[in-house]
Chains A and B, each alone.
Chain A
């Protein structure tokens, strides 16, 4: 297995020496940072007094010594290379399909060893608690009997899968691949904004970005002791293997919705990196509760499926019958224990935005530990007192529909018009249980190359957690960037980009 998939012919690297110019660039004053705004949010690179933080010193002196045209040239070469490699997603407009790349920023975001240690411990703790919670609600329902979380919130969730009740799940690991969204608050602490427990994507961009940043700043990269992430596909493979008792000759497949899915590149990438089959629903068939793929030489049995299709579409006999993406009979094969599916079905109930508010309590309940990573303060509109608080403070809050993702169904109070806020208030009153609200958290900002200089843009952090027989985090993450000045929306579907994340070894 080789990992240099992103190696390519375009030259977007260049000579790179660590020794800088010796001058100190001031954000907001000197090029290339002339338009760099330091405000209330925590800035990843600059302390409030405008001094570059220690881990960024080498990067700072490097970019300060490079002409802007050179940065521009490297940036364009990166985009060209992504286009050629087909690292694109398709946007449909007026029947015209346009291929776009997800913009990648050259400048890395740095996470120190101490910060990473806390993130790693915090997310490990969290995924343990969430898996115990899932096992509980699909079996005895102890947490409900003890009144820790309201029954109606679970049984009323559109992501709760009754069909999963009592089904044994290997190692109790319902969530095998998790991509949690963290943000850094104004105090500089990482907090969890969202757990993505269904089919999180973005890991291929984490790996692609690494290749970009390493080539853009090779000497800086070497000098800083950045921890490697290239073994992610191996760890993923090991995690998937650990789900079945047959360790010899396990046959694994990634189930993709197909080439029109926006994450298709990632599905194909992971299949190639792990050396497993990439299958679509129409490649699979079920006989006698065993899953087979149709190959030129005959039918071949499949033992583990890493599915990148939502629950709703996975088996038209059990879930949405209009699904053309899924496999009729797959769920029964799963129930019979003849195939393992990662993630298990029904995990979405635990990343529901309302359940999110309870995660700290779940950690205390199942693990008898204090949460290592905090949540963002969250108001549940289902609770009368919170509802009144939310309606009275819409201009200060971000309101989100429970069970939506990708930045849809939300109101960003301070940025919305009076009319938008009033319309949204109506929606909340009509169905309070469907909404939660959070204070507008100023995501931290990080230096981002914008063409005529380097400016501050809001970022979040999505590390990927693997959980099978063991729990593993590859020391890296996808840092998503809101490319529009002042914007807090980092989702790629809404104008977000990404950048490499350097986790330092010390």
Chain B
């Protein structure tokens, strides 16, 4: 596979994952805010803004309308829903020949549908609906990708992009919530419930732990459950699996550089213990996992994508 094509597939997938995550956070927030006091809702919106844009404090934090505009439709926001979709589509267009017709058309249709939407136009009735519908279409896109694309190297680059992005997004979300738990602004029961919903984890969690919502159990579930698709452990497993499948013909030395890092990450997650983390160590643990993902990203690029010709000739 051409290195440039791998690069575009990887980023296309990262941006789709980012868009999906963004749409879900906005949808859940818009749906749940009515059940919160204005103060709680504002604190919760601030956590969403921080996790999606990195902005620690935002002048927008009191106004759901302005925040939604910024997170969903602001093209000057590098991480907005529409920016992510637009970048995903730009990448897809560059590798049109490596995608199936269905994958391209689903993505293209979704983008064309959202491109003209403004926050004013959705605010009149159930603003969350647009984001729920977008999520449905993104799930359809995921299914179409799964069932129409050969599960070869290209598909594994999509997997890599998806799960590296997911670990980063999940990590940031958990980090913010568990850091807040150590401060005076402790998240309430409802906030923990919303956190589960941010990760589509509410029902799977209750199946495992019943409806008793406890931060320690949430951490255990979202970090270490190997079966739930939006857990760190699950994504790390997919990631290590995908790393073993890409660049099959690369020289062993370059493969080893990547696989060593993947092995280390998997070990960290497989042998992590939630009891050890709960006394303030969750943030440090997540910081470590995130850093390891960044190293994997770099190694992936220098081994398979941007390597200099002099290293092989």
Binding site for B on A (CB under 8 A): 5, 8, 83-86, 258-259, 264-265, 268-269, 271-272, 277-280, 282-283, 285, 287, 292-299
Cβ contact within 8 Å between B105 and A296: no
Cβ contact within 8 Å between B249 and A272: no
State the Cβ distance, A291 to closest chain B Cβ, in Å. 12
Cβ contact within 8 Å between B2 and A283: yes
Listed by A's residue number, 20 A-B pairs whose Cβ atoms lie within 8 Å are A84-B112, A85-B105, A86-B93, A86-B105, A258-B94, A264-B93, A265-B96, A271-B97, A272-B97, A278-B97, A287-B313, A294-B2, A294-B3, A296-B6, A296-B153, A296-B304, A296-B305, A297-B247, A297-B248, A299-B312
Complex Cα spacing A473 to B230, Å: 55
Complex Cα spacing A278 to B309, Å: 20
State the Cβ distance, B82 to closest chain A Cβ, in Å. 15
Cβ contact within 8 Å between B312 and A296: no
Complex Cα spacing A280 to B97, Å: 13
What are the interface flags for B300-313 relative to A under an 8 Å C-beta threshold, 1 for contact and 0 otherwise?
Answer: 00001101010011
Kindly state whether residue B244 has any CB partner on chain A within 8 Å: no
Contacts of A268 on B, CB cut-off 8 Å?
Answer: 96-97
Most B-side CB within 10 Å, residue of A278, A283, A287: A278
State the Cβ distance, B277 to closest chain A Cβ, in Å. 36
Cβ contact within 8 Å between B101 and A293: no
Q: In chain B, residues 187-237, which have Cβ atoms closer than 8 Å to a Cβ of chain A?
A: none
Which chain B residue shows the least CB distance to A270? Answer: B97
Of the residues A272, A293, A294, A297, contact of B96 by C-beta under 8 Å: A272
Complex Cα spacing A349 to B251, Å: 46
Most B-side CB within 10 Å, residue of A272, A295, A296: A296
Complex Cα spacing A269 to B93, Å: 11
Cβ contact within 8 Å between B97 and A296: no
Known: A271-B97, A285-B309. A296 touches B1 (CB 8 A): yes
Contacts of B246 on A, CB cut-off 8 Å?
Answer: 296
Cβ contact within 8 Å between B250 and A296: yes
Contacts of B153 on A, CB cut-off 8 Å?
Answer: 296
Which chain B residue shows the least CB distance to A298? Answer: B312
State the Cβ distance, B243 to closest chain A Cβ, in Å. 12
Cβ contact within 8 Å between A279 and B2: yes
Kindly state whether residue B104 has any CB partner on chain A within 8 Å: yes
Cβ contact within 8 Å between A283 and B4: yes
Of the residues B90, B96, B109, B249, contact of A298 by C-beta under 8 Å: B249
Cβ contact within 8 Å between A297 and B313: no
Beyond A259-B94, A296-B305, 10 additional pairs, beta carbon < 8 A: A84-B108, A86-B105, A268-B96, A279-B2, A282-B4, A287-B313, A295-B1, A296-B1, A296-B2, A297-B250
Of the residues B2, B90, B304, contact of A277 by C-beta under 8 Å: B2
Which chain A residue shows the least CB distance to B89? Answer: A86
Contacts of B104 on A, CB cut-off 8 Å?
Answer: 85-86
State the Cβ distance, A222 to closest chain B Cβ, in Å. 25
Contacts of A259 on B, CB cut-off 8 Å?
Answer: 90, 93-94
Contacts of A277 on B, CB cut-off 8 Å?
Answer: 2
Complex Cα spacing A131 to B42, Å: 74
Cβ contact within 8 Å between A293 and B2: yes
Complex Cα spacing A90 to B304, Å: 32
Complex Cα spacing A452 to B142, Å: 42
Contacts of B312 on A, CB cut-off 8 Å?
Answer: 298-299
Contacts of B90 on A, CB cut-off 8 Å?
Answer: 259
Q: In chain B, residues 81-134, which have Cβ atoms closer than 8 Å to a Cβ of chain A?
A: 90, 93-94, 96-97, 101, 104-105, 108-109, 112
Contacts of A269 on B, CB cut-off 8 Å?
Answer: 96
Cβ contact within 8 Å between B313 and A299: yes
Known: A84-B108, A283-B2, A283-B4. A296 touches B101 (CB 8 A): no
Of the residues A8, A285, A297, contact of B105 by C-beta under 8 Å: A8
Cβ contact within 8 Å between B96 and A296: no
Known: A5-B101, A86-B93, A86-B104. A295 touches B2 (CB 8 A): yes
Contacts of A84 on B, CB cut-off 8 Å?
Answer: 105, 108-109, 112
Cβ contact within 8 Å between A299 and B250: no
Complex Cα spacing A403 to B304, Å: 43
Complex Cα spacing A287 to B310, Å: 10
State the Cβ distance, B61 to closest chain A Cβ, in Å. 32
Complex Cα spacing A343 to B305, Å: 30
Complex Cα spacing A151 to B293, Å: 65
Contacts of B304 on A, CB cut-off 8 Å?
Answer: 296-297
Contacts of A285 on B, CB cut-off 8 Å?
Answer: 309
Complex Cα spacing A324 to B197, Å: 48
Complex Cα spacing A451 to B307, Å: 55
Known: A86-B93, A272-B97, A280-B4. A296 touches B247 (CB 8 A): yes
Most B-side CB within 10 Å, residue of A287, A292, A298: A298
Cβ contact within 8 Å between B96 and A83: no
Contacts of B309 on A, CB cut-off 8 Å?
Answer: 285, 287, 292, 294, 299
Known: A287-B309, A296-B153. A83 touches B4 (CB 8 A): no
State the Cβ distance, A312 to closest chain B Cβ, in Å. 23
Of the residues A83, A86, A258, A296, contact of B3 by C-beta under 8 Å: A296
Q: In chain B, residues 234-263, which have Cβ atoms closer than 8 Å to a Cβ of chain A?
A: 246-251
State the Cβ distance, A148 to closest chain B Cβ, in Å. 44
Contacts of A294 on B, CB cut-off 8 Å?
Answer: 2-4, 307, 309
Contacts of B4 on A, CB cut-off 8 Å?
Answer: 279-280, 282-283, 294
Cβ contact within 8 Å between A298 and B251: yes
Contacts of B108 on A, CB cut-off 8 Å?
Answer: 84-86
State the Cβ distance, A287 to closest chain B Cβ, in Å. 5
Contacts of B112 on A, CB cut-off 8 Å?
Answer: 83-84
Complex Cα spacing A418 to B97, Å: 50
Complex Cα spacing A280 to B57, Å: 43
Contacts of A280 on B, CB cut-off 8 Å?
Answer: 4
Complex Cα spacing A174 to B196, Å: 65
Contacts of A283 on B, CB cut-off 8 Å?
Answer: 2-4
Complex Cα spacing A5 to B251, Å: 37
Of the residues B3, B93, B96, B313, contact of A295 by C-beta under 8 Å: B3
Complex Cα spacing A86 to B246, Å: 29
Most B-side CB within 10 Å, residue of A84, A85, A86: A86
State the Cβ distance, B103 to closest chain A Cβ, in Å. 12
Complex Cα spacing A66 to B240, Å: 59
Which chain B residue shows the least CB distance to A275? Answer: B97
Cβ contact within 8 Å between B2 and A297: no
Complex Cα spacing A299 to B251, Å: 11
Contacts of A287 on B, CB cut-off 8 Å?
Answer: 309, 313
Q: In chain B, residues 1-59, which have Cβ atoms closer than 8 Å to a Cβ of chain A?
A: 1-4, 6
Most B-side CB within 10 Å, residue of A8, A258, A299: A299
Which chain A residue shows the least CB distance to B250? Answer: A297
Which chain B residue shows the least CB distance to A272? Answer: B97
| Shortest 10 CB-CB contacts between residues of A and residues of B | A297-B249, A296-B247, A268-B96, A296-B304, A271-B97, A272-B97, A294-B3, A268-B97, A278-B97, A297-B250
